[in-house]
Amino acid sequence: MEIWTEKYRPKSFKEIKGQKDIVKRAEAFVKQQNMPHLLFAGPAGVGKSTLALVVARELFKDIWRENFLELNASDERGIDVVRVKVKDFARTKAIGDVPFKIIFLDECDALTREAQQALRRTMENYTKTCRFILSCNFSSKIIDPIQSRCVVFKFKPLPKEDIFSIIDKIASEEKIKVTGDAKQALYEVTGGDCRKVENLLQSSAAVAQEITEKAVYSIASQALPEEVQEILDLAFKNNMLEARKKLLNTMFENGLSGLDIIKQIQSSIWKQKVDDLKKLEMIKLCGEIEFRMVEGSDEFIQLEALIAGISYINNSKN
């Protein structure tokens, strides 16, 4: 069975959801058959790789594969890749009417500093025969000389309406039913990551033809919002033993780690109907506990400390 992230990958500018301003500018470059080096920066699953592929398809049409080199810099991150693979491809002329080829370096923030230094010279020397599209999650990890040679596009997570549109299209073509609560759950769980949405949809559809909120949270290995709310309600009422019991049961039933559950608790705290100062104290506590867990502290002791802290903040007379 085909993977949905590839099956429903947009093939043209019109099919791309979100990033309207960026798509418009990329389309203008294609019409002129000329473009500078580009740097795509933003979170995962928001269309960076897709746009690079669409630009190549629209520019070179049927011979785009001969004029397009894709490298994943997280796999091949050393200076030899830039000196050998990239240079060999960049120094030859393009096939067809477009005067340049395209090299797409995905996850280029994983390139070593030495490789980035070598890349900047290659970008300079082979501008006539080659254009670079660099993709990264964090543009701050790209050295300034490379950034100054590129037009930087900042990608944003997809808004809710675009995520819902993608879900509706897939549901229609795959003949599955997705409830309204399940759509909202998919958006909440993925945070605008289209690739994650498609993977969760495919995983859920393999289990049942009707996808519900519970199925989404189960496949995503997250606790239901009601379960997290119940933990907080018990802590607010100073019912420590029951809060601890509910927390551990929720973790074991959903196969959650301490870091997983603390992120859900932190997210849920902002929605509580309590004094803003208490919310700030609880968020601060979540940050401290999460840091201790990352540093190697026992997660169960730290989670009990978190529940105790939340209970103390909400029941202290001060």
Question: What CATH number does the domain containing 49 carry?
Answer: 3.40.50.300
Residues 147 and 167 in one domain: no
Report helix, strand or coil for 220.
coil
Residues 209 and 231 in one domain: no
Instruction: Give the span between the Cα atoms of 205 and 200, in whole angstroms.
Output: 8
Q: Write out the two tokens for 300.
A: 């169960």
- Please indicate, yes or no, if residue 7 is contained in any of the structural domains: no
Is 73 in contact with 111 (CB distance < 8 Å)?
yes
Res. 7: pLDDT tops 90:
no
Residues 164 and 98 in one domain: no
Instruction: Give the span between the Cα atoms of 274 and 311, in whole angstroms.
Output: 13
Q: In the chain, what percentage of residues exceed pLDDT 70?
A: 96
Residues 281 and 180 in one domain: no
The whole-number pLDDT of residue 218 equals 85
- Average predicted confidence (pLDDT) for the chain: 89
- Please indicate, yes or no, if residue 9 is contained in any of the structural domains: no
Residues 239 and 183 in one domain: no
Res. 318: pLDDT tops 60:
no
The domain of 98 spans 19-154
Question: Ramachandran region of residue 56, left (φ > 0), alpha (ψ -120 to 50) or beta?
Answer: alpha
E-only strand ranges, 183-284:
210-211
Question: What CATH number does the domain containing 213 carry?
Answer: 1.10.8.60
User: Domain ends where: 106, 125, 154?
Assistant: 154
* Band of residue 3 on the pLDDT scale cut at 50, 70, 90: confident
Res. 317: pLDDT tops 80:
no
The whole-number pLDDT of residue 278 equals 92
Residues 144 and 167 in one domain: no
Residues 59 and 176 in one domain: no
The whole-number pLDDT of residue 191 equals 87
Element (H, E) at 104: strand 101-106
What is the reported pTM?
Answer: 0.84
The whole-number pLDDT of residue 77 equals 60
Residues 124 and 37 in one domain: yes
